[in-house]
Structure 1
Amino acid sequence: MALRLSVSGVFLDSIPRSIGSSLWAISLPVPSLLSDLWDSVLRAAPKKKTSHMKRRHRQLAGKALKDVHGLSKCPACGQIKRSHVLCPHCVKAHPVDIFSLAVTDTQILSASGASSIKVHSTTDTDFRLVQSIDNAHKVGCHHLVTGANGSRAVSAGFAGDLKAWSCEDGYWFADNATSANLAGADAWAVSLSLDGRYLAGVTQNGHIKVWDLGANGALIRDHETKGSFGTCIDLSADGRFIASGHENGAVYIFSAETGRMPFSLSGLVKPVRTLAFSPGGRILAAAGDSKVIVLYDTASGEQIANLSGHSAWILSLSWSHTGEYLLSGSFDGKVKVWSIDTKTCVATHSETEKAVWSVKWLPKIGRTEGFATAGANRSVAFYREATGG
């Protein structure tokens, strides 16, 4: 019996031998047996096994799904809540995004796009609400700072107004005389000295101003930059330096004593959203839209490290009291704890996918050092361990 072969439906014995032989040569290299053999070869190829260390690193980086633990009953309403989060059923921290947190020895203050400032106690495990400062800012507040001794606070509202607050026996009230002298300051971001006496602010046209609150808010310094929008500012704990971050990516350091600018720092070409001096004033950390935290040596102005890990804008930075850890909050919803000694991330928290606008270390209780976070999820979360346990 003769075998008749075809290519594309044409039988080879029906065309001239010369053409048929060439077509026959084309069809030979692709037998069906080869495809089956190749598929088995692919299946037999060794696969790379994920090591325990790599799985652990992924967990620390927030890439692994985690069960929800640490649930408890709210002592006020009896509803189930997270152990380290304010009860959403009875507290109602804020009805809109929380933009700023400020900490004293015994309290934590929070400000949002709403008109009220909330005050919670940090001396008990329930972080109970002890005061609500109603109608603090009619159209909301975006920056809130306190002195270390907890006697004074200053808030900056979306209407462009600055307001000063005083505290006696844990109760906050308006300092109307100082607020009146701060009228027209037009500062966007503000920072207070440790003793609460000096207030530094950066304006929309890039001016860095310093007021003496001990003299009812008298203006004592006015530094000029290149005119870019001032987005953030910080005073060093020792009172020697003032640092400001700007929309054009510039970072400036001024001497508080002489008023001169010893350094104009490079390294961030995108808007700077936050910066913070280490407790000893030796390091300045700055971050923003570049998604990288840059560490500068304040003695030389040199860039000493880059900390990478966030996938979106970095909105807030806070140093631990010892300077051992740096805390960062981002628009990606993650909070990271960085070891300054190893320049690595030692813990990542990703309980929300919404922006984390503010992070703050809490007063140290014994050997435990915790922190608080707040943002677009409209709640304040508390963590008790330095690595976030």
Structure 2
Amino acid sequence: MAALRLAGPSAGLLSPTALTRTLGIYTTASSSITGSLAAKYHASRYAVAAVLPSLLSDIWESILRAVPKKKTSHMKKRHRQMAGKALKDNISLNTCPACGNTKRAHLLCPHCVAPHISEIFSLAVTPTQILSASGASSLKAHLANEEGFGIAQSLSAAHKIGCHHLTTAKGSGCYAASVGFGGEVKLWRFEDGMWNEDLKDNGKVKDIWAISLSSDARYLAGTTHDGRIKVWDLQNNIEEVWNFETRGSFGMCVDLSPDGRLIASGHQSGSVYVFDLAEGRMPFSLSGLAAPVRAVSFSPGGKLLAAAGDSTMIMIYETSSGEQFATLIGHAAWVTSLDWNDSGEYLLSGSFDGKVKVWSIERKACVATLSESDKAIWSVKWLPKVGKAERFAAAGASQSIALYREANSS
């Protein structure tokens, strides 16, 4: 039994008969047998121990390949793919279709969306563009058609210390005029897709504040600091053809009727004057606004005249008689700009508190109020229709132009 216990693992190889007959021989033989078995046992144990680390490494590597450390959804994998594509697009460049400058393929053109470096004081429109004037030295022409919106041209160094008034001839849309803070007046012509200065070094038209061009671009009207209203004939060597005097109050705004017959001016005293250019006289002056008048605008048919300013009210008069047609109340701050749509159904107004209102002339009431910004609005303009949609633009102290479109139009 001692041999059996010693042999241990090899006991099953020996029979009980052999165990009882030759115990001594068994004992001696079993010692050599058990020694060799033990050696083999230890050798195999060491061999398995030597191979085990590499086996475990391969097993764990296969497991890690099959099961990710963190479960990733298909959507996240797709996002990673798109991120790789975006990274590729990020380093690719193309040409902006609006201004022709080089830009990154995945970004809007910085030249087209760059705001003015100062407040925008005036807007003017043509059938395809919006012109803007600001405290900067350059004027900007923006695309405003069905193809999109972007800068079409920048008129560098147009006015050294900025421009405060800008107007276009509504008939052809090929002529514009601008007045700078230095007192200089410049005339512009649109030809071959570009704006160019029409008359350089012009000294006949100067020292005026607000301006207006007739629809046929023949006459230019302007107001002066001492309340006079001047009119120049641009097709006759820029001769001054009219010089109307008022009571001496600063002329803050002016407008020519679509037929070129009437001219209206608003003054710091709150007075509104209407002059008949055909007869060379003032048929009537309009009352009702005791505060400075900042905007006057004739309706497309010329039958109505809207005037507004620091009183916050908008007064509408009949041009045939001077009688008051309507009073529009709704603004809580100075009204700085007015503009009629092409049909004369709606009047657009902008105010110092950043609100833009659309008024129905038939209902004599406000039908829409937009208050996207709390900064002053200095100019509002209706844009040419694209399909059935009514569109307009507003600009001011925010240094950008906001475009709006009729919501229920297609």
TM-score normalised by structure 1 residue count: 0.76
Corresponding residue of 1:38 = none
Verify the 8 A CA contact 2:112 2:150 in the aligned structure 1. Answer: no
Verify the 8 A CA contact 2:115 2:399 in the aligned structure 1. Answer: yes
Verify the 8 A CA contact 2:120 2:395 in the aligned structure 1. Answer: yes
Corresponding residue of 1:27 = none
What is the one-letter code of the residue matched to 2:192?
Answer: D
1:174 counterpart (184, 197, 200): 197
Identical-pair percentage? 60
How far did 1:176 drift?
2.8
1:223 aligns with 2:241: no
How far did 1:197 drift?
1.2
1:190 aligns with 2:217: no
Corresponding residue of 1:349 = 370
How far did 1:388 drift?
9.9
How far did 1:158 drift?
0.7
Corresponding residue of 1:17 = none
Count the aligned residue pairs. 309
- Summarize the Cα distance change of 1:130–1:301 in structure 2 as closer, same or farther, 3 Å threshold: same
Verify the 8 A CA contact 1:181 1:216 in the aligned structure 2. Answer: no
Verify the 8 A CA contact 1:203 1:230 in the aligned structure 2. Answer: yes
Corresponding residue of 1:101 = 123
Corresponding residue of 1:49 = none
What is the one-letter code of the residue matched to 1:93?
Answer: P
- Cα distance in structure 2, aligned partners of 1:231 and 1:118: 24
How far did 1:355 drift?
0.3
How far did 1:157 drift?
0.7
Over residues 44-86 of structure 1, what are the superposed CA-to-partner deviations in whole Å (9 max), with x where a residue is unaligned? xxxxxxxxxxxxxxxxxxxxxxxxxxxxxx99667899xxxxx
Corresponding residue of 1:114 = 136
1:130 aligns with 2:152: yes
Verify the 8 A CA contact 1:111 1:117 in the aligned structure 2. Answer: yes
- Cα distance in structure 2, aligned partners of 1:367 and 1:80: 31
Corresponding residue of 2:70 = none
1:301 counterpart (306, 322, 328): 322
- Cα distance in structure 2, aligned partners of 1:176 and 1:381: 32
- In structure 1, the gaps of 5 or more residues are 1-73, 82-86
2:181 counterpart (129, 154, 158): 158
Corresponding residue of 1:42 = none
How far did 1:126 drift?
2.7
Query: What is the aligned-residue RMSD (CA, Å)?
Result: 2.1
What is the one-letter code of the residue matched to 1:253?
Answer: V
- Cα distance in structure 2, aligned partners of 1:96 and 1:388: 33
More helix by share: 2
How far did 1:181 drift?
4.1
- Cα distance in structure 2, aligned partners of 1:372 and 1:78: 28
- Cα distance in structure 1, aligned partners of 2:309 and 2:399: 22
1:313 counterpart (334, 349, 361): 334
Verify the 8 A CA contact 2:346 2:359 in the aligned structure 1. Answer: yes
- Cα distance in structure 2, aligned partners of 1:238 and 1:163: 23
What is the one-letter code of the residue matched to 1:107?
Answer: Q
Over residues 118-140 of structure 1, what are the superposed CA-to-partner deviations in whole Å (9 max), with x where a residue is unaligned? 00111244312110000000010
Relative contact order: is structure 1 or structure 2 higher (C-alpha 8 Å, sep ≥ 6)? Answer: 1
- Cα distance in structure 2, aligned partners of 1:388 and 1:289: 34
1:144 counterpart (159, 162, 166): 166
How far did 1:90 drift?
5.3
Verify the 8 A CA contact 2:389 2:409 in the aligned structure 1. Answer: no
- Cα distance in structure 2, aligned partners of 1:376 and 1:105: 25
- Cα distance in structure 2, aligned partners of 1:80 and 1:238: 46
- Cα distance in structure 1, aligned partners of 2:362 and 2:224: 35
Mark the structure with the bigger radius of gyration: 2
Partner SS, residue 290 of structure 2: coil
How far did 1:335 drift?
0.3
Corresponding residue of 1:266 = 287
- Cα distance in structure 2, aligned partners of 1:288 and 1:308: 12
Over residues 66-111 of structure 1, what are the superposed CA-to-partner deviations in whole Å (9 max), with x where a residue is unaligned? xxxxxxxx99667899xxxxx8785213110000000011111000
- Cα distance in structure 2, aligned partners of 1:90 and 1:145: 22
How far did 1:321 drift?
0.2
Over residues 287-325 of structure 1, what are the superposed CA-to-partner deviations in whole Å (9 max), with x where a residue is unaligned? 000000000111110112111111110000000000000
How far did 1:366 drift?
2.1
More divergent stretch after superposition (313-322 vs 365-374): 365-374
Over residues 313-350 of structure 1, what are the superposed CA-to-partner deviations in whole Å (9 max), with x where a residue is unaligned? 00000000000000000001000000000001100111
Verify the 8 A CA contact 1:77 1:89 in the aligned structure 2. Answer: no
What is the one-letter code of the residue matched to 1:277?
Answer: F
Over residues 153-187 of structure 1, what are the superposed CA-to-partner deviations in whole Å (9 max), with x where a residue is unaligned? 1101111111111110220111234x51434x311
What is the one-letter code of the residue matched to 1:235?
Answer: L
2:276 counterpart (232, 237, 255): 255
Corresponding residue of 1:244 = 265
1:205 counterpart (203, 216, 226): 226
Over residues 172-231 of structure 1, what are the superposed CA-to-partner deviations in whole Å (9 max), with x where a residue is unaligned? 111234x51434x31100000111111011111011010011123211111010010000
